[in-house]
Amino acid sequence: MAIFKLVIRRSLMSVVTLLLVSLIIFSMLEILPGDVASRILGRDATPETLAQLRTELGLDRPAPVRYLDWLGGLVTGDLGKSLASSRPVSEILAPRIFNTVLLSAYAFLIYLPLTLVPAILQALYRDRAADHAFSVVTLVLLSVPDFLLATILLLTFVIVLPLLPAISLVDQTSSAWEYFRAMTLPALTLAIVMAVYAVRMLRDNLIEVLDSDYIRMAELKGLSRRRVLLRHALPNALVPTLNVTALNLAYLVGGVVVVEKVFSYPGFGSLLVDSLQLRDLPVVEATVMIAAFVYVAANLIADVAAILLNPRLRTG
Amino acid sequence: MSIETLSAPPARSTRSLSSLFVLWRQTPLSFRIGLIILLIHFVLAATGPFWAPYGYSQMGTGRPLSGMSWAHPFGVDQLGRDIFSRVVYGAHIVILLSLSGTLLGLVVGAVLGLLSGYVGGWFDEILQRFLEALISIPFLVLALIAIAAAGPELSGNPVLIVLVVALVYAPRIARMARSVAVDIATRDYVTVARLRGESAWSVMRRELLPNATSVLLVEFALRAGYAPVLIGSLGFLGFGLRPPTPEWGLMISENRALIMVTPITVLGPGLMLASLVVGLNLFTEGLARILGRTVKLGVQ
């Protein structure tokens, strides 16, 4: 039962973290810099319009009351109304989140082979020229910012080889093929960025496992090299890589902000940037909370998986 | 080995020069390549404004969008500005902002993390939860909302960018520093210092900090390596420095619309940004190896 307690404790910590995130976001955006109403209206503000907007937004109430009100809304799924379009925030968010989930799933599909194949080849041919050359390639890719990588891919696949569209605008009327074409470049960018971290990690883990006694044992038993690698080494090297995948999911939440913006893909990340520019606070707050939620959930899952996979804790 | 052979002072200048060379040969290759790339960037940043062929906002330096040529290695933008000059001018801006932001984050993070790990108790618990919450917001998103919160008067201000970089890094550095402090806090010499009646601040400064140096050094190099990307991303999204500042991310975003006509105006600043980060990453990896630590490059 100790393990059960550990999982519960870890989950409660995640809830506390999310509550603190909500407090931080709310105070940063609504309490710190003077007044929301004047920031929304900007230079055109007159005292009358300011007072009217304040009452409309409920800004005349004290901050703690507004915070609890907003938090209550978040928990019950009522995210408020957009200031820019006065539509419910959840109505604006739903299609954007759908698009981003689709994009992320596509990116993960590309990410898997992009991680496994180079890492396995590097581990097999370790310390040969090809291994070193590929380590240099991943180091350089690691240093290329995602917006630059996206721009280079755009240059390659849109301008030099005109295969894909430069702007990834899609909506509910788009066909599956249009979606596929629109998502390919943003997904490829995200997949490369994520794979670069994971390849470096998996290569080192694989090499460490390949040097261990039980692999030597399997080789001495006369198992084929392929079988040793795929059945004995890879599963053991994958466990630490799971952690990187959780980190990658966390990267993805931030990475979509830039990558979706580069390709004008109508997802959750470009919504955040657009609503920040419009100073549409309810939408900004909701998107940031969702981003933090995904991050916290990914880390929780990785930690719980680590607890469950740890045999020492399992028996305790 | 006798003490005399160790301390015998031969011709001093040649010895220190040759031992420096021996030391250099002993460092990892990645460290040497990284350091050379960084030196080139630093020299460029320090001297660039004095020899750049044109001013960073000087228009009419050549035919707009005329592409690569000897006079304009990185081409000319829509407004007739020489991209090469702009890139060279940008170097000191990018490097200064990255280093000062990271340094501020390091100081704040190290103090918070070491104190919190040493003091423990309620202070530690509350601070850890708070830092955990800050880390849970993706760093680019945190940077964007911090800039939005600062309001329109401050947007584009370099000081704001420095503060934002520090805000993003301080919690991550604090977490690292705390784990070092927790590890050291139970050692005998720390207990002795505490029993002597030293304050927490003095224990941190005199006992914890010297033992955390190598961790903090690697941490600084690692974070500094990503700072130019963070600043560039903010510039690219239109939340960083304002035009006509020749910040590389901002330049990439300005010239992106015309990438079909003159790709070099985007690739030039991109090359500078990527090579600076490659240099910093190689340097970090080598430094970590010299100090006997492992570092996971790129994992933020």
Task: Tell me the pLDDT band of A41, cut-offs 50, 70 and 90.
Answer: low
Please report the ipTM that was assigned to this predicted complex: 0.88
In a domain, B281, yes or no: yes
In a domain, B128, yes or no: yes
Q: For residue B27, is pLDDT > 70?
A: yes
More confident residue, B60 or B108: B108
Q: What is the pLDDT, as a whole number, of residue B66? A: 81
Over residues A206-226, the pLDDT tens digits come to 888 888 888 888 888 887 877
Q: How far apart are CA A69 and CA B3, in angstroms?
A: 75
With vertex at residue A242, the alpha carbon angle to CA A208 and CA A251, rounded to the nearest 5 degrees, is 120
CATH number, domain of B137, equals 1.10.3720.10
Average pLDDT over chain B, rounded to an integer: 86
Q: What is the phi-psi region of residue B249: left when phi exceeds 0, alpha when psi lies from -120 to 50, beta otherwise?
A: alpha
Q: For residue B4, is pLDDT > 50?
A: no
Distance from CA of B169 to the nearest CA of A (A): 15
Count: domains in chain B: 1
Domain enclosing residue B156, as ranges: 42-54+70-291
Task: Collect all residues of chain A within an 8 Å Cβ-Cβ radius of residue B259.
Answer: 151, 154-155, 159
More confident residue, A297 or B151: A297
Over residues B233-255, the pLDDT tens digits come to 999 999 989 888 899 999 999 88
User: What is the percentage of chain A residues whose pLDDT exceeds 70?
Assistant: 92
Q: For residue A229, is pLDDT > 70?
A: yes
Q: Do A143 and B249 touch (CB under 8 A)?
A: no
Average pLDDT over chain A, rounded to an integer: 83
In a domain, B245, yes or no: yes
Q: Do B278 and A143 touch (CB under 8 A)?
A: yes
Q: Do B249 and A155 touch (CB under 8 A)?
A: no
Supply the pTM of this predicted model.
Answer: 0.88
Instruction: State in Å, rounded, how far the first CA of chain A is from the last one.
Output: 8
Q: What is the pLDDT, as a whole number, of residue A35? A: 61
Q: How far apart are CA B296 and CA A204, in angstroms?
A: 11
Task: Tell me the pLDDT band of B164, cut-offs 50, 70 and 90.
Answer: very high
Distance from CA of B97 to the nearest CA of A (A): 17
DSSP structure string for B63-118: STT----SS-TT-B-TTS-BHHHHHHHHHHHHHHHHHHHHHHHHHHHHHHHHHHHH
Q: What is the pLDDT, as a whole number, of residue B220? A: 92
Q: For residue B2, is pLDDT > 70?
A: no
In a domain, B37, yes or no: no
